[in-house]
Amino acid sequence: MELKKLSYHFYGDRLLSHQMQESDLCVKVVLLGQSMVGKTCLVGREMDDVYLDDQKPTVGVSFVTKFINLDDFSIRLQIWDTAGEERFRSIAPMYYHDCGAAILVYSITDKSSFENIEVWINELKSHMEKMPLLYVVGNKCDLIEEREVKIEDVKNLCEKYKAEPLETSAKTGQGVSQLFQLIAKQAFMTNNIKKEDKPIPVEKKGCC
């Protein structure tokens, strides 16, 4: 219950309407990365098209649901936004279970946040039997003049771990929608999804 209250606080009533929809397929998505790289801001931009300059660090974990229509299917993304602070890392593995995609976020203006990405990948490897789809996302790409992370270094890391490199700006919205659309599409194509259980309608019999 506490988890849902936290989600409502971040993203408002839109989550309630999403939960009422039906979907054909579901993929669990976890956001990982150092504190203050913009994980929560990315989710806020995707869900409600908003950006908060004074967004506080996530405490523990928050959860939202996003529906994406792909061809004849409705895909439900279960998005888990985890805290990046060291004191919360011990609880993060609880949310890796059964995830189909992991968004590994760093800030292009903070080299240490990028260097930390490999730590998160190794965390996933140590706690999962099957690796999820990996997306290495450089946030704050609107601050191009403050860039500390070399594109070549990102490319090499992604080739090593077979991850998708992307850059986003939660502030301007650049690349955010494309990120989640790509996750839905690739999860569908690679079967990193699970079918939603739907109730079987009971046929009513007429009076004898």
pLDDT digits (tens, 9 = 90+) for 76-101: 999 998 875 554 456 567 777 789 99
Task: Domain count for the chain, please give it.
Answer: 1
What's the distance, CA 16 to chain centroid?
A: 19
Q: Can you give the CATH number for the domain in which 170 is found?
A: 3.40.50.300
- Of the pLDDT bands very low, low, confident and very high (cuts 50, 70, 90), residue 58 is low
pTM of the model: 0.80
Tell me, yes or no, whether 117 lies in a domain. Answer: yes
Tell me, yes or no, whether 207 lies in a domain. Answer: no
Task: Report whether pLDDT(127) > 50.
Answer: yes
| Domain residue limits at 184 | 2-195
Tokens of 8: 């409502």
